Amino acid sequence: MPKFLRIGVHQSNVSGYTSKAWCVRRVGTAIFLKWGAVEVQGAGAGRKVYWTRQPQEKTIRCGTAQRAQDYAKAAIARRRNHRYEPLTGAIAAKRKSVSDGADLKQARATILIVDIVGSTAKAAKLGDARWTKVMSLYYAAVRKELKGARGKEVVTTGDGVLATFKAPAAGINCATAIQTAVRTLGLDIRVGLHAGEYTMSGGEMVGLAFHICTRVAAKAHAGEVLVSRAVKDLLVSQSAIRLKDHGTHQLKGVPERWRLYRVEH
């Protein structure tokens, strides 16, 4: 992902100032943009750049790979003309003080991944302006349900959302609520949930539990919520949530076969 830092009156040998950063990534016919305020610490090879708050994100559907490539090239050229310098390193999450604890602290939770099914075709049909509006309403609906279920948003990726919950029932109920909320937008989503340990590093979730959750979500079809055996085992017997055996599946890159369960409405 090409990344750029606004130089302004500062050069790379200056430390301790705030600026702006801008990132662009092309995936097929889509362009993913990310931008926001950053803090610059250190200079030269030891320079570190941190987001000061959650960056803004935007997805642009270009219709063809060539148009997407041309858009990315033009956008990069504009940044260079506005005194942005290329960044070679990653932009980390907001810098923590020593009292905030280690960034690599391990945690355990129920992980939820939401993904829009057929988003590229829908974006091409609606056009950029209408699709951008739909996506804005989509994220607003997702975040409303996350807040109501006391879920914690970790990151958004294109048209997907990654979140965590302390209890599996809260995650499942939130998933079904999101399905209902976005149905009026004409969107079909699939959701996967898994429970396990993960680590946050540079604002990103890492660990086997995260990868398993992505594979569980990938097995779901439009309108489905699938959960792993780990989630099922954590549900209390008194829970009103109904799960149906969805069989065993080979999850890409994950050893052995995994039994999955479909949430019944």
Q: What is the CATH number of the domain that holds 50?
A: 2.20.140.10
Last residue of one domain, picked from the residues 65, 95, 125: 95
* 252 & 153 share domain: yes
* 181 & 211 share domain: yes
Number of independent structural domains in the chain: 2
The DSSP letter of residue 54 is P
Residue 161 placed within a domain: yes
* 174 & 212 share domain: yes
* 163 & 190 share domain: yes
Structure confidence at residue 247 (pLDDT)? 95
Structure confidence at residue 98 (pLDDT)? 41
Last residue of one domain, picked from the residues 67, 95, 123: 95
Structure confidence at residue 11 (pLDDT)? 47
Positions of the chain with pLDDT under 70: 1, 4-17, 42-45, 81-83, 94-104, 157-158, 202-203, 238
* 218 & 250 share domain: yes
CB environment 186-212: b (16+ within 10 A), e (fewer)? ebbbbbbbbbbebbbeebebebebbbb
* 170 & 149 share domain: yes
Structure confidence at residue 33 (pLDDT)? 87
Q: Which helix (H) or strand (E) holds 216?
A: helix 208-219
Q: Which helix (H) or strand (E) holds 33?
A: strand 30-41
> In 3-state terms, what secondary structure has residue 158?
coil
Nearest CA to 119 out of 66, 161, 76 is that of 161
Residue with tokens 């914690």: 152
Last residue of one domain, picked from the residues 72, 95, 118: 95
Residue 146: CATH number of its domain: 3.30.70.1230
Structure confidence at residue 93 (pLDDT)? 75
Q: Assess contact for 55 and 34: CB atoms under 8 A.
A: yes
Q: State CA 261 to chain mean position distance.
A: 23
List, for residues 76-125, the tens digit of each pLDDT value: 888 776 667 788 777 877 655 444 444 567 889 999 999 999 888 888 88
* 157 & 67 share domain: no
CA distances to 84, 115, 173, 178 from 225, in Å: 43, 11, 10, 11
* 131 & 231 share domain: yes
Residue 101 placed within a domain: no
* 129 & 255 share domain: yes
Residue 136 placed within a domain: yes
Structure confidence at residue 72 (pLDDT)? 87
Residue 16 placed within a domain: yes
Nearest CA to 219 out of 185, 187, 186, 254 is that of 254
Structure confidence at residue 82 (pLDDT)? 67
* 115 & 34 share domain: no
* 87 & 162 share domain: no
List, for residues 92-103, the tens digit of each pLDDT value: 776 554 444 445
* 183 & 54 share domain: no
Residue 19 placed within a domain: yes
Q: Report the alpha-carbon distance of residue 136 to residue 134 in Å, rounded.
A: 5
Domain that holds residue 7: 3-95
